[in-house]
């Protein structure tokens, strides 16, 4: 069978930003958010380009978990400016805003809701896309995916199209060195979840497998080090690489149950994406690996577990140990392991539960989960997740 593996050109390491000296064009439109803009990072990007006699504009209207209306505002601003490069400087929300606005800039006739992986968009007739991540987590700089929120329902929906793979990803540790502790932990958990889910998705392939294994090993080694010393450029660079590798993996094989659960938590309770999928991850491993009929899935978790030194004879037992190791990592770095620990009140959880179940069932990542699941099981997993009870069904 023929299969594809999409990745951008990737430049990484200290001074990776200098790659901007090489790109060809005249007009750059920089998409960012107010927090990142205030850190002076966009100014650095701008000055490299304007020193080369480019015209550059900064748009800082992106917000966490962007809505369709945010994307439309960005697209209008790009159209008004007339860019030949769009440069995203920010976390996953900024990068997704830039990617989706790029689609609307090139193809104003497209409805983001209706975008499919099979559409021939003809992107790059007007502009190319470069991404400079300021968080080490989403890997969006390497994926063909966008995650946007519906304005009316608040539901986050993910959509993919191969043409959305950025042209260039610049992984410069100086762009993440200022990321605070909590966001470092949460975004790192997103990278870990991509590494694990990219490896067990039913669309997994040899290229995504290789990327996942290395990403997993690197997250376990470098995420705690990033948190021990937030200013350490080496661990920041390693986490940027790990997140990008994990993005290459799941971007080409897709995410699974933890992302369906996590997207819906973000939609309904407005929890951070990485915190949410990270919290869900061990519960989904415990669900997916249960019983003789799921032994093939458990074997895949065993291969992942081996990368962090966990071995054993029975795949299910090793998978459960793997889930425990992920919980231990979360204890070390401070990612909540239950809704309760995340400070979600029982009444808010109960009020949002049915919405979360409905949204999780609609989430595209669910299709790629290796074990089938119905809405009753999703509801039950969420209930176990409230107190942090280990899954036993």
Which residues bind to ligand NAD, rule: CB under 6 A?
Answer: 33, 35-36, 39, 64-65, 90-94, 96, 134-135, 137-140, 143, 145-147, 156, 176, 178-180, 183, 187, 190, 273-274
**Burial, 110: exposed, middle or buried (Cβ in 10 Å; 0-12, 13-18, 19+)?**
middle
Chain centroid to Cα 324, Å, comes to 23
Question: Which residue's CB is nearer to ligand NAD, number 138 or number 300?
Answer: 138
Instruction: Give 7's contacts (C-beta < 8 A, 6+ positions apart).
Output: 142, 165, 248, 251, 252
**Cβ pair 138, 243 in contact under 8 A:** yes
Q: Which does 65 bind (CB under 5 to 8 A by kind): ligand NAD, Fe ion, none?
A: ligand NAD
Shortest distance, position 295 Cβ to ligand NAD, whole Å: 30
Q: Which does 166 bind (CB under 5 to 8 A by kind): Fe ion, ligand NAD, none?
A: none
- Which of 358, 131, 173, 338 has the alpha carbon at shortest distance from 264? 358
Binding mask 23-42 for Fe ion (x = CB under 5 A): --------------------
Binding mask 167-196 for Fe ion (x = CB under 5 A): -----------------------x------
Q: Give the other-Cβ count within 10 Å of 38's Cβ.
A: 11
Q: How far is 33 from 259, CA to CA, in rounded Å?
A: 24
Provide the token pair at 215.
């990403």
DSSP string across 25-72: -SEEEEEEEHHHHHTTHHHHHHHHHHTTT-EEEEEEEE-SS-BHHHHH
Shortest distance, position 33 Cβ to ligand NAD, whole Å: 5
Q: Which does 145 bind (CB under 5 to 8 A by kind): ligand NAD, Fe ion, none?
A: ligand NAD
Q: Is 96 in the site for Fe ion (CB under 5 A)?
A: no
Question: Which residue's CB is nearer to ligand NAD, number 148 or number 323?
Answer: 148
Q: Indicate the DSSP class of residue 293.
A: G
Shortest distance, position 246 Cβ to Fe ion, whole Å: 9
Q: Which does 183 bind (CB under 5 to 8 A by kind): Fe ion, ligand NAD, none?
A: ligand NAD
Q: Which does 363 bind (CB under 5 to 8 A by kind): ligand NAD, Fe ion, none?
A: none
Shortest distance, position 34 Cβ to ligand NAD, whole Å: 7
**Cβ pair 282, 323 in contact under 8 A:** yes
Q: Which residues bind Fe ion (CB under 5 A)?
A: 190
């Amino acid at each position: 069978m023929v299969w594809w593996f999409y990745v951008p050109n990737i430049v990484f390491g200290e001074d990776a930003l200098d790659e901007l000296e090489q790109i060809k064009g005249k007009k750059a439109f920089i998409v960012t958010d107010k927090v990142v803009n205030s850190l002076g990072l966009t100014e650095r990007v701008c000055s490299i380009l304007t020193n080369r006699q480019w015209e550059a504009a900064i748009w800082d209207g992106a917000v966490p978990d962007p809505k369709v209306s945010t994307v439309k505002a960005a697209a209008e601003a790009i159209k008004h400016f007339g860019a030949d490069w769009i440069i995203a400087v920010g976390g996953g929300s900024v990068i997704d805003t830039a990617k989706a606005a790029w689609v609307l800039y090139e193809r104003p006739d497209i409805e983001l809701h209706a975008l499919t992986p099979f559409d021939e968009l003809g992107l790059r007739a007007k502009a190319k896309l470069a991404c400079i991540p300021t968080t080490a987590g989403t890997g969006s700089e390497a994926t063909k995916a966008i995650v946007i929120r519906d304005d009316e329902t608040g539901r986050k929906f993910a959509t993919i199209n191969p043409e959305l793979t950025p042209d260039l990803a610049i992984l410069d540790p100086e762009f993440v060195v200022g990321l605070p502790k909590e966001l470092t932990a949460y975004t790192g958990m997103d990278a870990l979840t991509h590494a694990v889910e990219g490896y067990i998705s039913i669309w997994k392939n040899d290229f995504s497998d290789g990327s996942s294994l290395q990403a997993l090993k690197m997250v376990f080694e470098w995420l705690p080090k990033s948190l021990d010393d937030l200013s350490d450029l080496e661990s920041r660079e390693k986490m940027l690489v790990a997140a990008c590798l994990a993005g290459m993996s799941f971007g080409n094989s897709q995410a699974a149950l933890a992302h369906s659960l996590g997207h819906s938590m973000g939609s309904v309770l407005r929890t951070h994406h990485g915190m949410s999928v990270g919290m869900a991850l061990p519960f989904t491993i415990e669900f997916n690996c249960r019983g003789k009929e799921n032994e093939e899935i458990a074997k895949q978790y065993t291969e992942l577990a081996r990368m962090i030194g966990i071995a054993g004879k029975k795949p299910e037992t090793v998978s459960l140990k793997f889930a425990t190791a992920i919980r231990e990592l979360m204890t070390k770095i401070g990612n909540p392991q239950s809704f309760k620990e995340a400070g979600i009140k029982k009444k808010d959880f109960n009020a949002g539960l049915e919405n979360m179940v409905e949204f999780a069932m609609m989430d595209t990542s669910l299709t790629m989960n290796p074990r089938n699941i119905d809405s009753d099981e999703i509801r039950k997993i969420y209930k176990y997740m409230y107190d942090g009870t280990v899954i036993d069904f």
